[in-house]
Structure 1
Amino acid sequence: MALKRPLPALMGGVSLSVLVSLGALAYQHLRTNALEERLLREVNTLTHAEHPRPVHVTPARPGTFGDAVEALRPALLQQARETPAPSAEEAATRESVTEGRAPVTDLPASNHEALERGRPLMRQVLAATHAESGGLPEDLRPLSGPETSRRDALLQALRHVVEEAALETRLLVSRGEADQAVDTCVDTLALSRELALGGGLLGQRLSATGYGRVWRACADALDAASLARKREAISQLTRLQEGFPPVSLTLHEEAVAAQLHAFRDLLSDEARAQLPPSWFDAPSLPGALSRRLQWRQWVEDADRLLAVADQPAEDRRRSLEALEALKRGEFFRQAEALAVRLSPEDVEALDLRALRSEALIALTEVDVARAERGQWPRALRTRTKSLMLKPVDENEAHIRSCVQGMMPDPLVVTADGPPALQQVRDVP
């Protein structure tokens, strides 16, 4: 007769088996060897990454944009220190003049003087965009290190150059020097593009802001330029558009940098020694066990985000909503990596930059077609379907956005004629 096990003994065996299984599962989740190895590989890859992109001028200058700007760093920082911050009223006036909402005569004399003093350095920075390869100075990259004061100071100086160059474009248009205005505005767009190449989300945001600051002045310059300059500009603008990095690459940079900021103290001494020197210092933080779980979650979240980041706008919106729903259904989630996310504001800014880039190309192509054939083209030849052309009469056509809120005021293109009539303006 078989012996019957007492029920408590049987339950104890089951409980022990469950505990062993849970322990094994927890051990697998708490192990970070694979995460450590992956992080080191990605740091090495991104640290040594190059940023080739189409050059918008011929011939290109040898070297990289980053090397050229690094040589100008002392002058840029000195200019930033010596330039007083404008008042809110002065900043508003500059913006209105730059975008064509106010006449150039509204600009205070002090602004003209500041632009005159800064023009040589501004032109040197714009000429740096003619380099044969992109890439920012090392300390402008997300993986440069935990200390950001040098990065912030140089980025602010470059942002000032973008604003000055946009204003310079407007002044050149007002003086009837349209071809030179196109030279300046195209280089300014190129500078905005450079900020996105390896600069992480901050670089992408500054890039989108730069496009927003210069594009209206650039539109006026393009419409008023000679036919030959317009033809050349179409090729240049197309090459600039092709040089923007995919959003997934930007988020990858941010994801790796976020791991270094938050978890480098969890690395072994041997692994930490393989990091760039700026990351060697790694004070130990409490809660190592829970932070290992958090590290794994951050990597999984980033992988899911990178997989959908480059989708078309509507597909990406649905995918991001699905990812948020997935997170809400997961138990025991740790705090998320705030730097590794694509906020609605970022999505809108990047989509708007793409739309503005397309709109400038479309405007120039329409203007050239009208000059060559004597009539407006029937449709736009853009990559996006969100822009449409609507001729008003033989001398005027509108370029509108089909996406509500993206470009509420259409661009108005007038057929080439006397310089005073060659304008692009906003329609209320």
Structure 2
Amino acid sequence: MTDAPAHGFDTLQIHAGARPDPATGARQTPIYQTTAYVFRDADHAAALFNLQEVGFIYSRLTNPTVAVLQERIATLEGGVGAVCCSSGHAAQIMALFPLMMPGNNVVVSTRLYGGTVTQFTHTIKRFGWNAKFVDFDDLDAVKAACDDQTRAVFCEAIANPGGYITDLDAISAIADEAGVPLIVDNTSATPYLCRPIEHGATLVVHSTTKYLTGNGTVTGGCVVDSGKFDWSASDKFPSLSAPEPAYHGLKFHETFGALAFTFHGIAIGLRDLGMTMNPQAAHYTLMGTETLSLRMDRHVENAMKIAEWLENDPRVDYVTYAGLKSSPYNKRVEKICPRGAGGLFTFAVKGGYEACVKLVNSLEIFSHVANLGDTRSLIIHSASTTHRQLTEEQQVAAGAAPEVVRVSIGTENADDLIADLDQALAKATA
């Protein structure tokens, strides 16, 4: 559990959760590369397995390196606890797992990462769950989509790929009225630019692969628990409010209070789904978080400069960056993301699909990869890659139309990036 932050973000991103190693005095968090931990005695082991004592049993469940990262991300997000796992996709399943039963649904935004759209359209049906896709700018439609079987509302703070900003306050009010948690994917914004819990989110999920790590080395995910939802207010969430057979009838919410979701995520979610983050990945991500604010400031600065340049280029049809005054989402920046609109957006190339392909193939500094949030500037043509499995209608709804490319602006020299785009656009539209 994390205490209320007593320090600024720049300090917390370095120190939260980390203490000198008690055995060696090592200042950087060690990589505890071990599968299991020796119990003091039989009573100690029994207490751990009964959830009567907090400690380390087996690294599928808990690991000291991962525990530091969990505390750090929870602190930065303003949550009470967090569970790290193997990827952002794993984090989404981990977030839904305690909430959903066969026949239940989740109301989700149409503006989501393509892999998430596929996961919610097809994969979760194998659990007997369903997703209702709604334009989250249409608040009446979101409200109408919530029914007796709805167990969560899901959106992205800054939507991938378009960089659209969600009105989290309005959406959280709808979720509250429906008596269900709001889950916000904060990957593209990070807690430096946006803190969804302050806007009513119950749970926050991350692909730590992206900005939190920032160097393109490891995959990971995280679910942050706000600790503010009353899981016992209705009979909708029996996994958290009703007796748990695997723990002799223990009731997670009654026993653990604000930390009920976090303890369930470890004791049930990681135990049974096994979506574990390895300690090496946690170590790389911990090092990445230490420079998060510095990097995000540069991402935002570069993105703004490049978006303005692209918007004024006759070879470009439109730019979706919310930081631009022309964006319909610009008015939400100050409220939802007061430090800036992030480093992710799309732009449409005149010449359509083929021009986009030529553009991608002509760039020299930008890397053509299926990732975002790196210090390196990245580009991808979503319609032929990350959103390829979607229909054209779904692609357009998600902001990944055939004539659109997505850019993740890095921390390089902005003038160099503009020059690279300039020469590639010349070739693409010749």
Q: Shared topology, TM-score over 0.5?
A: no
Q: TM-score, normalised by structure 2?
A: 0.24
Please tell me whether Structure 1 or Structure 2 has the larger radius of gyration of its CA atoms: 1
Structure with the higher fraction of residues in strand conformation: 2
